[in-house]
Amino acid sequence: MAELRDMKALVEPGRALSDDEYLRYSRHILIPGLDSIGQRRIINARVLCVGAGGLGSPTILYLAAAGVGTIGILDFDKVDLTNLQRQIIHTQNDLGKSKAQSAKEKVNQLNPGVEVVLHELKLDESNALGIFKDYDLIIDCTDNFATRYLINDATALLGKPYIWGSTYQFDGQASVFWSKEGPCYRCLHLTPPAPGSVQSCAEGGVLGLLCGAIGSIQSNEAIKLITGIGNSLLGSILIFNALDTSYEKRSEEHTSE
């Protein structure tokens, strides 16, 4: 069995669990090293997901199912027909609706015990610090470099960890960045690529289920940081190739975008 207590838990245990919560989260509570104390940490956690699209969809759903007490959703976009191939938190009935509102509705249906805080705005230098300060950790579910660097810089200033994911065609990557404890995104890539030099998913495409694979990894990293179990991806990048069904874990100094 893997070692389960290698990290310091990011979140302190919250209130005692109710009888219904013991039943709902019983499969977590049965896991040695996670148990009821870990679940109380999860319920006490405040997690912000920046983006409610391809990566945000599975991430938000799994965090809600796990019982994360407060989930912030930051997205100013609306649901479009091209989104439905991979953004599984949205449905045909949500077309034209705010992605943040659509995601909140699904969380409420899945787990009404989770508080959802909506930030229906564009993240920029004027609001990032004010929003991020209220959360224990940030999950970067975006698809553009400008926002990635903004998230990196804001979390570095606040000393908070963030979980990054990226998908393109058949390839996905995920990591944890935390300047207080290890490398940050700028340690890996000091400056953004020139505009137009890297294709977006809208230009080059992405396999829909790849977002589920990487989003699940991001959710897993969040639960590990919150509860202090296992070893995080801090200092390394996990690379997934859907065509080969292969995973490779590289130290960050040997990895390029």
Query: Side-chain half-sphere of 16: how many Cα atoms within 13 Å?
Result: 2
DSSP state of 206: B
Average pLDDT of 218-234?
97
Spatial CA neighbour of 103 closest among 205, 215, 201, 25: 215
pLDDT digits (tens, 9 = 90+) for 160-217: 999 999 999 999 999 999 988 988 888 877 676 666 656 677 778 899 999 999 999 9
The mean predicted confidence, pLDDT, of the chain is 92
Contact 172, 164 (CB under 8 A): no
Residue 24 burial (10 A CB sphere; 0-12, 13-18, 19+):
middle
Average pLDDT of 20-33?
97
**Res. 64: pLDDT tops 70:** yes
- Compute and round to an integer the Cα radius of gyration of the chain: 17
- At residue 57's C-alpha, the angle toward residues 46 and 113, to 5°, is 45
3-state helix, strand, coil split of the chain in percent (to 5) is 40, 20, 40
What is the distance between the alpha carbons of residues 162 and 109, in angstroms, rounded to a whole number? 27
What's the pLDDT band for 34 if we cut at 50, 70, 90? very high
pLDDT at 5: 42
Strand order in the sheet with 162-168: 115-119, 70-74, 46-50, 137-140, 162-168, 171-177, 236-241, 246-251
What's the pLDDT band for 45 if we cut at 50, 70, 90? very high
| Percent with pLDDT over 70 in the chain | 92
For the chain, give the longest Cα–Cα distance: 54
Residue 249 burial (10 A CB sphere; 0-12, 13-18, 19+):
exposed
Average pLDDT of 218-236?
96
**Res. 17: pLDDT tops 80:** yes
pLDDT at 195: 66
